[in-house]
Amino acid sequence: AQKVTQAQTEISVVEKEDVTLDCVYETRDTTYYLFWYKQPPSGELVFLIRRNSFDEQNEISGRYSWNFQKSTSSFNFTITASQVVDSAVYFCALLGSYNTDKLIFGTGTRLQVFP
């Protein structure tokens, strides 16, 4: 079975603080893909990053960075110097490689950034 766990339901920070959103996944597939999406209050899911299981290199994109560790089945997301516009619900998702094309989402982490 495949599963994604985002244990942090809600996180509140003050602007300019760094914040890390945790994601732990379960899968029996040897090849799989991990994603992060952002859902602002408007409701649309915005794609942030995709990572395949063979690529454990961490990635940085501006204030965003992602730490993928297969040994702990985690794919954590860090926002550096958070801004009010970062306030949203963030979802981690898993897609297995075998005979399926559906994303398995976690329950999301609501991030509130206060000025």
Partner 1 sequence: DTGVSQDPRHKITKRGQNVTFRCDPISEHNRLYWYRQTLGQGPEFLTYFQNEAQLEKSRLLSDRFSAERPKGSFSTLEIQRTEQGDSAMYLCASSQSTGATDTQYFGPGTRLTVL
Q: Which of residues 27-46 bind partner 1 (CB under 8 A)?
A: 33, 35, 37, 42-46
State the Cα–Cα distance between residues 68 and 58, nearest whole angstrom.
6
Residue (97 or 112) nearer to partner 1, CB: 97
Selected from 16, 50, 63, 70, the binder of partner 1 by CB under 8 A is 50
Among 19, 21, 91, 113, binds partner 1 (CB under 8 A): 91
- Of the candidates 72, 59, 79, 89, which has an alpha carbon nearest to the alpha carbon of residue 24? 72
DSSP structural state of residue 54 = T
108 touches partner 1 (CB under 8 A): yes
**Using CA atoms, how far apart are residues 36 and 90, in angstroms rounded to an integer?**
7
Residues 24, 67, 103, 112: which binds partner 1 (CB under 8 A)?
Answer: 103
Torsion of CA 98, 66, 50, 110, to 10 degrees: 90
Q: Looking at 12, 58, 69, 100, which residue binds partner 1 (CB under 8 A)?
A: 100
